[in-house]
Amino acid sequence: MPDDLTHLATPGTEIAVRVTPKASRNLVKVEADGIRVYVTVVPEGGKANAAVQKLLAKALGVAKSRLVLVRGQTSRDKVFRVE
C-alpha cells in the first residue's frame, strides 16, 4: 500500500518531491526528509515528469490535470501545486 497523501490534496498546497528516475518500480514513499517518488521511466522529453505527476495524483486522490509542476522541470527536486 503506497503512503496515503490525501490530506495534502487541498487546492493551493505545494508539494515538494524528490524523484528517482529509472527505478525498479513506480512508488510514492513518505520518508523522514520528505516525499520521494520512484519512477521506472527515463528522464527524457518530460516522460519522468508525466509519470511522477500521474503517480502523485493517484496517491493524492486527485485528477492528474489538477497537479501543476511549478518548479524543477529538469531537476530531481520538484514542486507540484494542487489546483
Nearest Cα to 52, choosing from 76, 31, 30?
A: 76
> Taking the model in full, what pTM does it have?
0.92
Q: Is the pLDDT of residue 78 over 50?
A: yes
Please state, as a whole number, how many other Cβ atoms lie within 10 Å of the Cβ of residue 60: 23
Question: In whole numbers, what is the pLDDT of the chain averaged over residues?
Answer: 93
What mean pLDDT is predicted for residues 7-19? Answer: 95
Domain 6-82, CATH: 3.30.1200.10
What is the rounded distance in angstroms from the CA atom of residue 61 to the CA atom of residue 8? 10
| Cell numbers placing 48 | 519522468
Q: Is the pLDDT of residue 20 over 50?
A: yes
Whole-number pLDDT of residue 2: 52
Whole-number pLDDT of residue 3: 65
Domain ranges within the chain, ordered by starting residue? 6-82
Q: Is the pLDDT of residue 82 over 50?
A: yes
